[in-house]
Chains A and B, each alone.
Chain A
Amino acid sequence: MREKFENTGNKDTRSGFGAGLLEAGRKNPEIVALCADLTGSLKMDAFAAEFPQRFIQCGIAEANMIGTAAGLAVTGKVPYVGSFAGFVTGRVYDQVRQTVAYSDTNVKICASHAGITLGEDGATHQIMEDIGLMRMLPNLTVINPCDYNQTKAAAIAIADLHGPVYLRFGRPSVPNFTPADQKFEIGKAVKLIEGSDVTIFATGHLVWEAITAAGLLEKEGISAEVINIHTIKPLDTKAVIESVARTGAAVTAEEHLIAGGMGELISGLLARELPSPLEFVAVDDLFGQSGDPAELMKLYKLDAQHIVLAAKKAISRK
């Protein structure tokens, strides 16, 4: 079953964002983009070149950028704010809370370089708390797509959702395997592989690791279901419950701390609705460090091998 997912070549998800922003901008003249001196890193240059009037360079001043975006949104624009994940969440949490989430302004917070796979820059830049920070805010939709194509589709889809959004993606090139012309349905989980022994809920580029893990498990006679949770908030609770009701065990996989992550969200849901064994593949109360992204994935136990171990453990606890 794993074979039906073909990696059409590794690509960075941030480039998917840049392509999606450009396409969305061509469709909707109200879209404006703001960046805090990271235009190249966020792949916003194409939009800035095609729509110079609609691109607002904010300099290294993220707090003002969030407030300015809120003002643009209140007055009818659809602002896409781009920076590194740490700088548009933790650094400006109060600004996001007051002028974006509480004020329910139509601001799209677009966060690149999330997670440990930022690699060499080290822990100051490798935020692994952002999903938790953002999903705690009422009104905010939280999206973490899995590859280039899906990130592009998500960047286009959020333009049509009236309300604040946190869109998370990253720097490294990761397998690109979802359809190029997909329709991105916010809040709708995508079942990629059907299975009967355990469900792996994955988000971001760990979806590919989950697919790989399912292939490894299959060789050992274990049938794993893989579900892509690209929208963390609102969570597709129906899809989660329906799957775990059949498989009886779950693994969650994400490039984030356990605290505040998708895993905690799903474990909370299962605790209330369908108590089941669940194992986390996520980082447990640690900061990251400099290193090669793929090596860091192994060191911090986020790769396919660790998903396999977690799946077996979850099954053994049935």
Chain B
Amino acid sequence: MRQNGLSLSISIKQIIMINNYSLSDISSQVRRDIVRMVNMAASGHPGGSLSSTDILTVLFFSEMNHDPKEWRRDGKGKDMFFLSAGHLSPVFYSVLARSGYFPVSELASFRKQGSRLQGHPSVERGLPGVHVASGSLGQGLSVACGAAITKRLSGEENFVYVLCGDGESEEGQIWEAAMFAAHNKLSRLIAITDWNGQQIDGPTDSVMSLGDLEAKWKAFGWEVIVADGHDLDAISAAYKQAKAGSQNGKPKMILMKTHMGMNVDFMQGTHHWHGKAPNADQTANALSQLKETIGDF
């Protein structure tokens, strides 16, 4: 299996250029990438990708200690990010490419035969930024726990981040991991829930009530932070608060309140675009609502 580093074709210009843009410029471009990727692939999951765009934009372009140019699959000496909700691959691939892990032009290969950008993230073809495959839900939090233990055993002070969906927390393994992380006092594990209240079959409240998520995570022994997942300053503050508690003996759960399909009016707030691609007209409509900032791939 390949564990190659960055492709030589990555333009240094691309990495420097990103510094000239505000986080909101970047998130707007990432949303355009998501819509265009899913449209070009005629399949994929735009709804949750759009709801978690701001969460990942702040993480990858502001809060996380990472080095896209020197990325290693073992994450040694760096913060690590795991995407547990693997169907959010469009937003994941976009923030990876836009932060310099691989050429943005590769986003056009999303879901195509032979692509490193598989429908759900995979490591088989060596895509930089992906540590482990995900897609079958509920597993990423456990993997992140393992990574956090390695970092502690190695005396590293880096953080391990993992993004889960709210619907995903219907999986029992999430709560196995919740118990495990608290028992092992994984203070440098920072989990994020994209709390958009929607899943494929409908609102989580009608499919399977999550109840009081905040109280549940607290009861499992976690430090819980609730934030507006579309307010870039609030997101940043939530990450900073989570990092500040690195010695408090509790794993962190940031419940990010979001809207599915955020910033595309006909996709926003509904489960109907969880896993559906927009056609040409819908794509044009969506793109008209999202400012092109850095430039489309």
Which residues does A use to contact B, with CB under 8 Å? 32, 53-54, 56, 58-59, 61, 63-77, 79, 94-95, 97-99, 102-105
The 6 closest A-B pairs by CB, nearest first: A71-B146, A67-B142, A64-B176, A75-B150, A61-B176, A71-B143
Given A67-B142, A74-B74, 17 other A-B residues pairs in contact with their CB atoms under 8 A: A53-B153, A58-B180, A61-B179, A63-B142, A65-B142, A67-B146, A71-B146, A72-B150, A75-B76, A95-B142, A95-B173, A98-B136, A99-B132, A99-B133, A103-B132, A104-B1, A104-B123
Are A67 and B73 touching (Cβ within 8 A)? no
User: What are 8 A-to-B residue pairs whose CB atoms are below 8 Å?
Assistant: A54-B153, A63-B138, A63-B172, A68-B149, A71-B149, A76-B76, A77-B150, A103-B123
A153 to chain B: closest CB distance in Å? 27
Interface positions, chain B 72-114, Cβ under 8 Å from A, are: 73-76, 80, 82
* Bound-complex Cα distance A102 to B153 (A): 26
Are B143 and A99 touching (Cβ within 8 A)? yes
Are B147 and A67 touching (Cβ within 8 A)? no
Size class of the contact patch on chain B:
35 or more
Interface residue? B122 (CB, 8 A): yes
Q: Which residues of B have CB within 8 Å of A102?
A: 122, 124, 133
* Bound-complex Cα distance A140 to B126 (A): 19
Secondary structure of the A contact surface, majority rule? helix
Name the one of B74, B75, B145, B148 contacting A67, with C-beta atoms under 8 angstroms.
Answer: B145
Q: Taking CB as reference atom, which chain B residue is nearest A54? A: B153
B186 to chain A: closest CB distance in Å? 10
Q: Taking CB as reference atom, which chain B residue is nearest A104? A: B1
Name the one of B142, B149, B153 contacting A64, with C-beta atoms under 8 angstroms.
Answer: B142
Q: Which residues of A have CB within 8 Å of B76?
A: 75-76
* Bound-complex Cα distance A268 to B132 (A): 33
What 0/1 readout, one digit per residue, does chain B (147-168) give for beta carbons within 8 Å of chain A?
A: 1111101000000000000000
Q: Which residues of A have CB within 8 Å of B141?
A: 67
Interface residue? B131 (CB, 8 A): yes
Are A74 and B131 touching (Cβ within 8 A)? yes
* Bound-complex Cα distance A103 to B120 (A): 12
Are A68 and B179 touching (Cβ within 8 A)? no
Interface residue? B139 (CB, 8 A): yes
Q: Which residues of B have CB within 8 Å of A69?
A: 146
